[in-house]
Amino acid sequence: AQETGLHDEL
């Protein structure tokens, strides 16, 4: 698994 760091959640 990789860390998202993508803030696509609210």
Partner 1 sequence: MNLFRFFGDMSHLASILILLYKIHATRSVRGLSFKTQALYVTVFVARYLDVFTEFVSVYNTLMKIFFISSSCFVLYLMKGRYRPTNDPSIDTFRVEYLLGPCALLALIFHYRWSFLEVLWSFSIFLESVAILPQLFMLQRTGEAETITTHYLAALGAYRALYIPNWIYRYWSEDVIDPIAVTAGIVQTALYLDFFYVYFTKVLQGQKFELPA
Instruction: Note the residues at the interface with partner 1 (CB under 8 A).
Output: 1-10
Tell me the closest approach of the beta carbon of residue 1 to partner 1, in angstroms: 5
What is the Cα–Cα distance from 10 to 5, expressed in whole angstroms? 13
Structure tokens at 9: 């959640």
CB of 3 to partner 1, least distance (A): 6
DSSP classification of residue 1 = -
Count CB neighbours of 9 within 10 A: 5
Q: Minimum Å distance from CB 9 to partner 1?
A: 7
